[in-house]
Structure 1
C-alpha cells in the first residue's frame, strides 16, 4: 500500500506543483493518474521512487516513510517504464531485461530463465529476439521490452509514465490489452500516468483525476463516469459518442467474392471488455472505439458473450451491475480458415453487422465487420465496392 500524507511540492522559483495531496493507493491495483498538462500527475508518481522529493508531507510504502530508505535501493525495488522506453542501445534485448536482476546480484542461473519467461509472457520468442538490439525492434516491441524489464526483478510496485503515448493506435491498443492481461496474472501495484481518459478507463482499477496540483476526484472508472464531481470532470470525461447503425442485412451475392478466408479480412484487435467492468465503463470503451457492441472476453481472451449499447442503456440505472450480468451469448461465430463467401452468407442471412472469429480453444482471434469486408473488396474487386457499400448504407 502507498500513502500520501499532506504532500506538497514547491520549487525554488516559488511554483507550487502539488497542494496537500492525501491519497491511498491499494496494493495489487492499477491506479491511473490523469489530468491536463501541468496538473501534477507525473510529479506525484515520481515522489514514489524519490526522483522528486516532497517539500512537506510524507510518502509511505507499507507504512514506512520512503525518505528513510536508500534511494538507490528503493528504485531497484520499484519497476519504472517511461514513454521513450529507455532501452540501452548497445545491449542486447536479453541483457536489457536482465539489468536489474544483475544489479541486485541474482544468481546468474536464475536470470536467464527469468528473461525467457518474461519475453514469452509478451509474445516475443526469446530464441528470435533475445540477441537482437533495440534498433532492430519496432516501437511496440521495444515498449514490450520496457514493460518486462520493469517486471524482471519481480517488484511489488511498478511506475508507468505515459508508456504508450508515443505509439501508433494499433500498437497502443495491443499493449493496453497486454497490460490488462499481465495485471490479471501478476496483481502488481501499478501507478499509470496518462493524459488519455479512454486509456485510463480501459486499464485502471482506480482513477485519480488531477488539476493544478490538486486531486479533483478519485474513484473507480465506473463511479467517475456515473458521478463526476464537477464541471471540470464532466468536461474531461468528454461526451459519449457512438457510431454505427443496425442496417438490415449485407445484400451482396457471396459468389461475387473470390475465395478468400476470414483470416485475410478480419479485424485482429476487436473492441473487447472484461466481464467485471461496470456498465458506464463499457459505454465509454464503446465511445472510444466507436462501436455499438463489445465482445466479452476473459483474461485468456476466451469469448464469453457480447453486450450491445442498447442493452447497456436499458440496464444503465442498475449501478451495481457489471457487464457479465447483462451480456448475452454469441449466436453466430466462425473458425479461422472459414471462406469469406460462407461468412458473408451467414452475416447476410442472419442480418449481422459483425461476426466473431473464434479458434478451437474458444479464444476470440478476430472480427469480421462490414467495414473490413468493404476494405478487402476495395483491394480485390473495386468494381463491386460501390454496390456493396450502398447496400450496407456506408461510404466505400
Structure 2
C-alpha cells in the first residue's frame, strides 16, 4: 500500500529495496534538527518525508530536493503558521494519524512527538533523539517560570498538559525499536526517562565551512551566542571583567543583552559586537585565542565549529561538551579545558589553566578532533545503526542502507 496521494507518487520512484519513511518534528526554519533531516534525505533519496507541519520558507528548503512533505491536520488549523506550538496537546494525536503502513523502515527525528508514530511488528522504527521533551521533564520548572505560568489558571493548565505529555511520551517510547542519541548526555537522559539504552551518533556538522586561517591573531577570547539566560554569558563577562589583562569579544543578540552589558560595567577589555554575519562568525572563530562556552547543551555544534577553525575551547564540563573537548592528558592531544561549576571564579581558574598549557593545544589537534563530527561520519554511523537494526528485526530487510 502506498500512503502518498496519487498526484504525488511520481515523486518517489519504485524502490529497489525496503521502503523508507522519515518523520521530522516540524519544518519552520533550517536549524540544528534540519541538518539531521538533510543528511537522512541524502542517505535515503527515495524516502518519503512526514512532519507535523511544514511552514519552511522557500529559500530554506533546497535541502529537501523538491520532495513533498506529508503533514498532519494541524497544518490546516487556525493560525497554525504562526502559533502551531500552541497545539502541543494535539500533536500526539496528530502524529499517530500518519499512515506509515506501506514502509519497512521508519526513521524519526525527535525532540517532541515524532517518535510517537505507530508502526507494526514487521516494521523497524529507529528514533534519532535530539532530546526528550525538556520542558515536560527536568526543565519543567524553568519552562513554567520563564513563561510566567508558575501560578494561576494558566499554570494549572500547563502542569496538567505536561503531565499528560509525560505519560504519552513514556508510552510511545515502547514503539521504538532502536534509540539513537546525539550525545552520551542525551543517552543518559533517554535511560532516565524511557529506561532504554541508546546508541550514540553525533549530529552532522559542516566542518568544511569552518577552516583554519593561515596566520590567526589568537589575541582575544570569544563568545558567540544568543543572549538568553541558560547560556550564562553573564558569568563569562563577569569573569573577564575581573581579568583586565585578557580581551573578550562577545557576539550575539537576545533579551539578556542589556543585563549582560550591565555586568561588564564598561570594562574596556570586553567588546560587544552585537549581531554578526556568518563571515564575521568565521573570522572571529579563526582568530580567537579560545572559544568560551558556559552553557549546558545537549550537544553544542558551535563548539565543534570552533574546533574546525583550529581554535581551543574553554567550556562548562557538562552535557554534550564532554563528548567534544579533549582535556588534559588525552593521548591524541588536548583541545581545550573544562570548568566544573557555572561560576565566574571557575571560569577564571579555567582561563589560567588554559594559559599555562596553551602551547600544548595545537590547531592540528583541534581540527582533527572536529572531523569526528563531520557529515560523512554521521552518515557512516547512522548506516551502521540502521543496518544492525534491520538485521536484528528480519534478514529480508538486509541492504536497506546501501
Q: Which structure has more strand as a fraction of its residues?
A: 1
TM-score normalised by structure 2 residue count: 0.31
TM-score normalised by structure 1 residue count: 0.31
Q: Which structure has more helix as a fraction of its residues?
A: 2
Larger RCO (CA under 8 A, 6+ residues apart):
1
Structure 1 or 2, whichever has the larger Rg, is 1
